Structure 1
């Protein structure tokens, strides 16, 4: 899998991305040029290609994140939807084939499910979905962390229809040209700034019946869509933070080999404390890579992990994000005070890696999922 990813994302391409990442971060600007290059090489249609799968996408996202974490994080949201369509198709469900077709034609999909205060994630919604006579729905609510805000052409959203005897969660895609929504200019954050994940207000935006693709009961359920979303989201999120950790190790090695100790008149790579920190960082990351590859591979191969699938997915996300944070801190200790300047790459990685704790599943939610799998409900 390494060679195809290196061919897709060449070293020269990544160096351009890395240089622009600093500019995007400093200017709090969307990654317009990165997106254009990714579109040109067919990156947005990875899952629409016959050989495309989650293992390839995860490896590509890890590599992309070593250069431009915010770009990779935002592109994740497009890849989540196209990945969901591919996972469902591989399991005999063509209900989202249009997502793959439209992605191949150049459409950009974004993920508009997150809501303030909604810790039920996909199992409930604060957004109101009002049924219309022709079978469509009118959505009213507030969506946060809507990555790709300046560029998406299709936004996947869901809301709750409480008009019947039992409430249902309604999933659909709205087009950018549709009236009835507003994107706020409120993305001024500590890190992941180029993602421009602005708040989106749904103000009665209508989605026609043919763009409504699921109606599910409130609460946990076994619909394949839920597994597909969790599988793609958690695996691709883990890939981005694995890339951040990988880059931090590289920067730690560079610092150890280029910095010198005036007291010992030697490079810091000979200092036993520095050597231990670099070794610890590399050791930590070596535990993430095989777990990431195994999960992505098993999903592609339709391996049945049964009741352990959700613990596996949330466990991967937590391990990748928390390990990346620890590794970035170790790299900063090796690099010294130069990494404290805002212009330093490690300074940006430190701010970017903190975002990992805010993506679902949270640590508390993940531990609860794992405990339920091993111990049963409390």
Structure 2
């Protein structure tokens, strides 16, 4: 990591172009098509694919650094790309552990496929451990999926959707089925993304009407509920690390904007810059202390995933704790940045006002605050009634 040059994958000029489009993407509530085109051309969608397959061969720790950098330019673009990177990251996690079930994701990413993440369902707080989507097997090994997925980022542009559903063909032995479907007439992408922030992700509702995953795209069948299967660990670990990275990047951008504002604003009372005001200095220091604490945590946990460290039952509390901590810290840092910058930050034209709205989305991603606390409490106190 010490020799990793992030600018080789996200050059400054590319980031500035992405940054220059972010406000319009947000205001127009559209997908950042230009960002995706430039990132695809730069090979960014295959950064986690091994070099032997045509990718950059990076690890999760390096991808985390890059996603922080991208989020500092355009949070919604970074969050949307996150969902594609989750699947390429899961493919890497499984391949590193000797399972090549997602090789087609790796080769597909190199070929220009865009993979979306179809896991979230309204009211389904089981997330990976259950599904309201029906998965019905066919004699040829394929599965058809019927149900509704929400928060499907990359809604207008994805070419393959990774999803899960529940196969209840044998009521005594139900199975969670993980598979990939292509965009066909059996998949409806609703144009219903009109949110407070993160508008560029276009995380639209996806309705599955018997969408078929062929046998070679049915990648895993596992028991419902908490499960040690590598696909469950792969999804949870990559998802949480990359989410934490995006919001860490948002926090850094807010901190930078607060520092710039403090240095350029001048007090009428003292005639000195606000950067000399002891209260402002304390507030900026608090922001920096919170931000600095995130960096080693993201790096350490991503590194442990990369090098196959076995944390056993502590993996899930560590991962959910990381995501929760990053989101809470980022939200507080953006709040404080608004105060440092003053009333001008309340105007839509100010970048901080967009970050203020964007950072709110972090609370809704798994693990949400309730789930994170329940997971960590169980790790320290044991199960309720245990």
Deviation track 1:91-118 (CA, whole Å, cap 9, x = no partner) reads 1111111110111111110001100000
* Partner residue of 1:242 out of 248, 265, 272: 248
- Report the CA distance between 1:47 and its aligned residue: 0.9
- Report the CA distance between 1:136 and its aligned residue: 1.0
Q: Which residue matches 1:293? A: 299
Q: Secondary structure at the match of 1:260?
A: coil
Q: When the two structures are superposed, what TM-score results if normalisation uses the length of structure 1?
A: 0.98
- Report the CA distance between 1:7 and its aligned residue: 2.0
* Partner residue of 2:281 out of 260, 275, 278: 275
* Partner residue of 2:214 out of 174, 197, 208: 208
Q: Secondary structure at the match of 1:349?
A: helix
2:161 is the counterpart of 1:145: no
* Partner residue of 1:318 out of 315, 324, 344: 324
Does the 8 A contact of 2:94 with 2:234 survive in 1?
yes
When structure 1 is superposed on structure 2, of 127-136 and 105-114 the one drifting more is 127-136
Q: Which residue matches 1:6? A: 7
Task: Measure, in 2, the Cα distance between the counterparts of 1:140 and 1:122.
Answer: 17
- Structure 1: state its 5+ residue gaps: none
| Residue correspondence of structure 1 range 125-204 to structure 2 within 5 A | 125-164=131-170, 165-176=172-183, 178-204=184-210
- Report the CA distance between 1:133 and its aligned residue: 2.3
Q: Which residue matches 2:24? A: 23
Does the 8 A contact of 2:87 with 2:105 survive in 1?
yes
- Report the CA distance between 1:233 and its aligned residue: 0.2
* Partner residue of 2:358 out of 337, 352, 362: 352
Task: Measure, in 2, the Cα distance between the counterparts of 1:95 and 1:137.
Answer: 16
Backbone CA RMSD of aligned residues = 1.0
Does the 8 A contact of 2:90 with 2:231 survive in 1?
yes
Task: Measure, in 2, the Cα distance between the counterparts of 1:70 and 1:154.
Answer: 20
* Partner residue of 1:81 out of 81, 84, 87: 87
* Partner residue of 1:64 out of 70, 80, 86: 70
* Partner residue of 1:221 out of 223, 227, 238: 227
Q: Which residue matches 1:305? A: 311
Q: Which residue matches 1:42? A: 43
- Report the CA distance between 1:161 and its aligned residue: 1.0
Task: Measure, in 1, the Cα distance between the counterparts of 2:92 and 2:216.
Answer: 19
Q: Which residue matches 2:54? A: none
- Report the CA distance between 1:358 and its aligned residue: 0.1
Does the 8 A contact of 2:175 with 2:223 survive in 1?
yes
Q: Secondary structure at the match of 1:204?
A: strand
- Report the CA distance between 1:3 and its aligned residue: 4.4
List structure 1 runs of 4+ shifted beyond 3 angstroms. none
Deviation track 1:12-59 (CA, whole Å, cap 9, x = no partner) reads 211111110011001101010000110011000011134311011101
When structure 1 is superposed on structure 2, of 243-252 and 8-17 the one drifting more is 8-17
When structure 1 is superposed on structure 2, of 93-102 and 127-136 the one drifting more is 127-136
When structure 1 is superposed on structure 2, of 86-95 and 8-17 the one drifting more is 8-17
Does the 8 A contact of 2:4 with 2:62 survive in 1?
no
Does the 8 A contact of 2:251 with 2:333 survive in 1?
yes
Task: Measure, in 2, the Cα distance between the counterparts of 1:17 and 1:198.
Answer: 22
Q: Secondary structure at the match of 1:170?
A: strand
When structure 1 is superposed on structure 2, of 230-239 and 132-141 the one drifting more is 132-141
Q: Secondary structure at the match of 1:163?
A: coil
Q: Secondary structure at the match of 2:197?
A: coil
- Report the CA distance between 1:192 and its aligned residue: 0.3
Task: Measure, in 1, the Cα distance between the counterparts of 2:373 and 2:80.
Answer: 26
* Partner residue of 2:370 out of 333, 348, 364: 364
Deviation track 1:219-264 (CA, whole Å, cap 9, x = no partner) reads 1111111111000000000000000000011000000000111111
Task: Measure, in 1, the Cα distance between the counterparts of 2:370 and 2:280.
Answer: 33
Q: Which residue matches 1:337? A: 343
Q: Which residue matches 1:261? A: 267
